[in-house]
Amino acid sequence: MINTAESVWGNCLKFIKDNITPQAYNTWFEPIIAVKLTDNALSIQVPSKFFYEWLEEHYVKLLRVALNKNLGKDAKLIYVIKMEHKRDKSSSFTEKIPSTQRSRVNAQEVSMALSSKSPELKNPFVIPGIRNLKIDSQLNSLYNFDNFLEGGSNRLARSAAKAVAAKPGGTSFNPLLIFGGVGLGKTHLAHAVGVDVKEKHPNKTVLYISAEKFTQQYIESVRKNTRNDFIHFYQIIDVLIVDDIQLMSGKKGTQEVFFHIFNHLHQNGKQVILTSDKAPVDMQEIEKRLLSRFKWGLSAELLKPDLDTRKKIINNKLFQDGVEIEESIVDFVAQNIKTNIRELEGAIISLIAHSSFNKEEVDLKLAQRIVENYVHNSTKEISIEQIQKVVSSYFQMDVDTLQSKTRKRHIVQARQIAMFFAKKLTKASLASIGKQIGNRDHATVLHACKTVNNLSSTDKQFKKFVEDLDKRLLE
């Protein structure tokens, strides 16, 4: 039987398929087309230069063994990279020599092939602000280091962020994971790194993206069959900032693709910055191999600001707005609003607004009234419906699942926590709570509340769930 390019490559694929995961096979080998076979040299067509580089970096040994089995020890592999014109007409192919001789690739020829008749790499992955690979960093310039005041609660995180901004990818803080509760400045600090990098290293490509938006873009790339372009796009970023990384929990496809992107960036000296409302150890349903990479660099926690830091924040806000008030009033506000920076600044804005609009002097009496109203509003009763939405979102499920009849442990616990907070934060009766949360009876609600109290005192992880949700529900 005479060997053909198709038959040799088909035999290679059988061997390769037995030695890698189905997902890796579907992503990196199914798109390859056998082109021709000359003596012991097999030419295969790959979709892009990135595709070729990925194969060389990750599957060179596997390809060599597969070829040697079919063509002998002198087998050669030639990559054919298909480039495309703007009008989707095929241009001439660019041939690559075997990965074992990669250093001999004619860089000038590759460069000419990429630029000929097409000034840009064709990349169907598009987000607002991106044109011809000139990437809008999506950064907010108002979030910078100048207005991120240092204190004992954030000193480590801020110092590490400054070091990363000065030398992105060149410190041991890669990745830099900034974590902490709501309103403590995680997003502000992450933006500040990006803003500083853009100022100090204008040639660096910086991108800020929320984990939620990243997931949406990934799903869209799968739907449109542009997953490889999606990966390629993110792998050209020099400083990648992903906000609320914990939202990838339970999303296996998103975690898989982010794992590959992370590896590529890290191996090539690019900087990754992540934020999360949880420490790595508390992230549920994040794959262990991805979680381990989060721990490669530095995990820096942002704590609730101490009294001195709260005073600095207030005085800085007053200075920016050109307002002067007595130090005793600053002390009063700082001592009474302790939860987070966002609430503290909100109270100051309310104080200034009341003074300006009502033409009242900013005195202690006005400050007491504002703070009293502010604290009262932050602890107002919320609805059972809202409690269910917050709890469902936290545990990465929808409300229908929370209310369902399933006895899966994690869903049952989420439902019990929702009942616990409904009893704690509303005036509804046990019967009413049970009716609204899955049509249960009052005895089920009572049992749920007891269970939550018991587990909170014996299970450290469960206690963390309850504490996190308590903060979210009282925001």
The string of pLDDT tens digits covering residues 260-316 is 999 999 988 999 999 998 888 777 778 888 888 888 888 888 887 777 778 877 777
Cα–Cα distance measured from residue 148 to residue 128, given in angstroms and rounded to the nearest whole number? 28
What average pLDDT does the segment 81-102 reach? Answer: 41
Token pair 């990243």 is found at 214
Cα–Cα distance measured from residue 418 to residue 433, given in angstroms and rounded to the nearest whole number? 9
Q: Write out the H or E segment, with its range, that includes residue 212.
A: helix 211-223
- pLDDT at 85 exceeding the cut of 90: no
Please tell me the predicted confidence (pLDDT) of residue 261: 92
- pLDDT at 103 exceeding the cut of 50: no
Please tell me the predicted confidence (pLDDT) of residue 238: 92
Instruction: Compute φ and ψ for 94, nearest 5 degrees.
Output: -115, 120
Select from 330, 276, 290, 286 the least CA-distant residue to 308.
330
Q: What is the DSSP letter of 304?
A: P
Cα–Cα distance measured from residue 467 to residue 65, given in angstroms and rounded to the nearest whole number? 54
Select from 257, 247, 274 the least CA-distant residue to 218.
257
Please tell me the predicted confidence (pLDDT) of residue 108: 30
Structurally, at CATH architecture level, domain 384-473 sits in Orthogonal Bundle (1.10)
| 189 contacts: CB under 8 Å, gap ≥ 6 | 143, 148, 154, 157, 158, 161, 178, 275, 302
Grouping H, G, I as helix, E, B as strand and the rest as coil, residue 400 is helix
Select from 4, 5, 7, 30 the least CA-distant residue to 17.
30
CATH number of 307-378: 1.10.8.60
Please tell me the predicted confidence (pLDDT) of residue 99: 43
Name the residue with higher pLDDT: 311 or 322.
Answer: 311
Please tell me the predicted confidence (pLDDT) of residue 128: 38
What average pLDDT does the segment 87-110 reach? Answer: 36
Residues composing the chain: 475
Please tell me the predicted confidence (pLDDT) of residue 120: 32
- pLDDT at 1 exceeding the cut of 70: no
Please tell me the predicted confidence (pLDDT) of residue 116: 33
Q: What pLDDT, in 10s, does the model give residues 206-263? A: 999 999 889 988 998 888 888 888 888 898 899 999 999 988 888 888 999 999 999 9
Predicted confidence band at 321 (pLDDT cuts at 50, 70, 90)?
Answer: low
Cα–Cα distance measured from residue 263 to residue 269, given in angstroms and rounded to the nearest whole number? 10
- pLDDT at 96 exceeding the cut of 70: no
Cα–Cα distance measured from residue 343 to residue 474, given in angstroms and rounded to the nearest whole number? 11
What average pLDDT does the segment 352-380 reach? Answer: 64
Token pair 């529900």 is found at 473
Name the residue with higher pLDDT: 463 or 357.
Answer: 463
CATH classification of 5-115, choosing from 3.40.1550.10, 3.40.50.1950, 3.40.50.300, 3.30.300.180? 3.30.300.180
Name the residue type at position 10. Answer: G
Please tell me the predicted confidence (pLDDT) of residue 60: 85
Ranges of each domain in the chain: 5-115, 155-302, 307-378, 384-473
**Listed range (160-169, 319-328, 397-406, 419-428) with the worst mean pLDDT:** 319-328
Name the residue with higher pLDDT: 415 or 91.
Answer: 415
Name the residue with higher pLDDT: 129 or 41.
Answer: 41
Q: What is the DSSP letter of 322?
A: T
Q: How far is CA 365 from the centre of its chain?
A: 44
Predicted confidence band at 444 (pLDDT cuts at 50, 70, 90)?
Answer: very high
Radius of gyration of the chain measured on its C-alpha atoms: 28
Instruction: Compute φ and ψ for 359, nearest 5 degrees.
Output: 50, 45
On whether the CB atoms of residues 317 and 348 are closer than 8 A, the answer is yes
- pLDDT at 101 exceeding the cut of 60: no
State both tokens at 128.
């607002």
Cα–Cα distance measured from residue 127 to residue 258, given in angstroms and rounded to the nearest whole number? 17
Predicted confidence band at 9 (pLDDT cuts at 50, 70, 90)?
Answer: very high
- pLDDT at 88 exceeding the cut of 70: no
Q: What is the chain's mean pLDDT, rounded?
A: 79
Please tell me the predicted confidence (pLDDT) of residue 428: 80
Please tell me the predicted confidence (pLDDT) of residue 411: 93
Cα–Cα distance measured from residue 213 to residue 219, given in angstroms and rounded to the nearest whole number? 10
Predicted confidence band at 122 (pLDDT cuts at 50, 70, 90)?
Answer: very low
Please tell me the predicted confidence (pLDDT) of residue 123: 35
On whether the CB atoms of residues 212 and 312 are closer than 8 A, the answer is no
Cα–Cα distance measured from residue 69 to residue 182, given in angstroms and rounded to the nearest whole number? 57
State both tokens at 334.
């700082």
On whether the CB atoms of residues 175 and 294 are closer than 8 A, the answer is yes
Q: What is the DSSP letter of 295?
A: T
To which CATH superfamily is domain 155-302 assigned?
Answer: P-loop containing nucleotide triphosphate hydrolases (3.40.50.300)
Q: What pLDDT, in 10s, does the model give residues 339-364? A: 667 777 777 777 767 666 666 667 77
